[in-house]
Each structure stands twice: as C-alpha cells, then as structure tokens.
Amino acid sequence: MEILSIILVSISLSMDAFSLALAYGTLELDSIVCKKLSLTVGIFHFLMPVLGMGVKYYLVEYSHLSLHFVTFIIYLYLGIMLLLELKEERTVSRLTTIRDIVLFSLAVSLDSFTVGIALSTFTLVAPFSFALFSSFFTYLGLKIGKKMYQYFGKIAIVLGGLFFLILAFLHL
C-alpha cells in the first residue's frame, strides 16, 4: 500500500510541472530544450524532497521564510517572461538559458520540498519516484503545449502567461 501512496503523490506533484509545461510548450521549444527542461525538473523533484527531509527540523523551529512567498515570486517572474515572449521573435525562447530552466524547475519542485519535510522516514524511493513522474509529465506537457500553439496560436501563450500569474497570486 505504501508504494501506491508514493505513486499517487508522485503524480500529484507532477501535475504542477505538467500544467506549466503546457504553457511553455506553446513557445514551440526545440527537442533539446524540452529534454533538458524535463531532466532538470526531474533532478529538482529528486533533490528538493531530500533537502526537505534534511532541513525539516530547522525550518519548523527556526526559519521565518515563507515558501508560498518564494513560489509567488518565481511564478510571477515566469508569467511575466512568458507574456513578454509575445513581443520577441518566436525563434528565441526564454527557456534556453540555464537560469530560466533552473527557475522553472525550482518553481515546480518547491511543493516537493514541502512534501520532503512531511515525509516521516528518510528513504530515496519517494524522491526517485517524484523525479521519474515529473520528468515524464513535463515532457508530455511541453509536447501537448506545442500542439496547442499550432491550433490556437498566440492566445495559447497569453493563457499560459495568465495561468502563471494566477498561480503566483494563489501562492500569496
């Protein structure tokens, strides 16, 4: 039964990455960028819960940092960058830089950090599962987003940017 719980949590954590990948898929990223982004999201979904497990007691007792505020800032940045894509040449994507790929990966994996804090035992099975599922769903979202752009054009980018901004304010 525990493995089923890990799989269900893995899928639910991956939905954030999937939905945001849909938005970025509208930018028609090339295959290499899609693979880099999917791999980086998977790595972050592995590292963040491990980090969460490691600093669990410190954060509970000593930190005044709000993870919701950090998530707000990152989503706000991503939403604005996506909307600014409308003014730029379509051949260049904001996700081609390491910084933007890392910020995207960090944004969608912050929830994995909090799950890591909540995990009662230190095991690498759950983070490994999180990584696999999030990499897969990110790649799938990017590919579906590309198809959406082909059918809906720039309106898909606007909707994706607005989606980021809504998520940002929901995390406040």
Query: Tens digits of per-residue pLDDT, 51-105?
Result: 888 776 665 556 665 666 666 776 677 677 767 766 655 443 466 688 889 988 9
Q: pLDDT above 70 covers what percent of the chain?
A: 74
Least confident of 19-23, 34-38, 53-57: 53-57
Residue 169 pLDDT exceeds 60 = yes
Cα dihedral 95, 99, 104, 105 in deg (nearest 10):
120
Phi then psi dihedrals of residue 49, to 5 deg: -70, -30
CA atoms of 22 and 157, how far apart (whole Å): 10
Q: pTM score, two decimals?
A: 0.72
The closest alpha carbon to 71, from 126, 16, 133, belongs to 16
CA atoms of 97 and 128, how far apart (whole Å): 26
- Say which residues have a Cβ less than 8 Å from residue 37's Cβ, sequence separation at least 6: 21, 24, 29, 95, 101, 104, 105, 138, 142
pLDDT at 136 (0 to 100): 97
- Average pLDDT, whole number, for the chain? 79
pLDDT at 6 (0 to 100): 84
